[in-house]
Amino acid sequence: MYYKLPVELYCEKNCILNHTDDIASIGKSAYIITGKHSSKENGSLSDVENALKNRNISYKIYDNICENPSIENVMDAVSKAPSGCDFVIGIGGGSPLDASKAVSLMLANPEKSSDFLYEKCISEHLPVVTIPTTCGTGSEVTPYSILTIHKKRTKSSLPHKIYPALALIDPMYLNSAPASVLKNTAIDALGHLIESYINANATNISKMFCNYALSMWKAIPYILKNNIRNYEAYELLMMISAYAGMAISHTGTSLPHKMSYTVTYEQNVAHGKAVGAFLAAYVKNADIYSCNHILSLCGFASVKVMADTINELCGRIKISKELADKSINDLLNNPQKTANCPYTVNEEVLKNIYKESVIII
């Protein structure tokens, strides 16, 4: 048995204000990494600025992280870092949080070029504080940073493990999120739980997080379909996402995530929606015990009900046969991408998952 999660985590109202001292204990000069708009609108950026000003911590803001950030986007942020900054604060959805981890890696290794991002080696990084404002990626606790690689026309996780030092979750930041962002990211969290449970690396501890959070997920379709907007709903969404992050920190994700990356790159489909499309078929192909266990924990009467619920929340995806074939060949040619799947993955299985998951045109 092995489990590691070296992240200090708090989840509460006014989380930043309440944990100003915890932020101050991390460093003296911060580099804030965030997206273009949302952190200014939901109050998270001003909360962080106030906390830093209160403790005389100098800071600079980079507010140009795009959705599904690329290597170039990260390197632009690195090139604009203030000299002498000793920690990084990521604020936003998974995109700015993942970018903040990659920036922290590059700032601790200033002599390296962007190739270092994907170099397999033991590495140092600056401490990272993560402040999530979406409810799906779990990036606030995971050691992963997933970047878009334009040269390969896909996305890929860095081989470096960059655990945040401190994660501060204030569920009220979700109040400004459009329903589509809540839906897509909640489905991403469901994907993390399912892919972590049905995973070659799963252990009793990782399954413990999955079991608990999958049973909490039962309430989510009602909350999303009825657009319930209150603190309790936001806290539930945020905590499921964090538990799911704890689960995948141990196991990694599996086929639906790997299949989603090409769809997101080629068709600009939101991450959670792209993952969600493949979930029901992934569950259906698993052993009968895991399939029934997941369905009953989440409260789905069948795999079809699960697929219908996801489609109703996020919408269906259409992709061309060429793109499906390209994605299948890519997975078949890279066995490490399918290694986390505990059942046999061959051309027939992948073709069936595609056929059942997306509309092929």
The single residue among 188, 239, 264, 279 that binds Zn ion, judged by CB under 5 A, is 188
Distance separating alpha carbons of residues 40 and 153, to the nearest angstrom: 31
Distance separating alpha carbons of residues 79 and 82, to the nearest angstrom: 9
Residue 135 identity: C
Q: How far is the CB of 59 from Zn ion (least distance, A)?
A: 29
47 binds Zn ion (CB under 5 A): no
Report the site for ligand NAP in 64-83 (rule: CB under 6 A): 67-68
> Which H helix or E strand runs over 287?
none
221 binds ligand NAP (CB under 6 A): no
**What string marks each residue from 117 to 136 as x (binds ligand NAP by CB under 6 A) or -?**
----------------xx-x
Structure tokens at 182: 């809540």
The single residue among 23, 77, 146, 238 that binds ligand NAP, judged by CB under 6 A, is 146
Q: Could you say which DSSP state residue 141 is in? A: T
The single residue among 20, 109, 154, 185 that binds ligand NAP, judged by CB under 6 A, is 185
98 binds ligand NAP (CB under 6 A): yes
The single residue among 31, 173, 265, 278 that binds ligand NAP, judged by CB under 6 A, is 173
Report the site for ligand NAP in 265-324 (rule: CB under 6 A): 271-272
User: Which residues have a Cβ under 8 Å from the Cβ of 240 and sit 6 or more positions away?
Assistant: 135, 186, 189, 193, 213, 216, 217, 220
Which residue is at the shortest CB distance from Zn ion? Answer: 188
Distance separating alpha carbons of residues 125 and 107, to the nearest angstrom: 7
| Angle value at C-alpha 101, between 96 and 102, nearest 5 degrees | 95
Nearer to ligand NAP, 264 or 291 (CB): 264
Distance separating alpha carbons of residues 303 and 290, to the nearest angstrom: 12
CA distances from 166 to 94, 106, 131, 139 (A): 15, 19, 9, 12
Residues contributing to the site for Zn ion (CB under 5 A):
188
Q: State the residues that interact with ligand NAP by CB under 6 A.
A: 35-39, 42, 67-68, 92-95, 98, 133-134, 136-139, 142, 144-146, 155, 173-174, 176-177, 181, 185, 188, 271-272
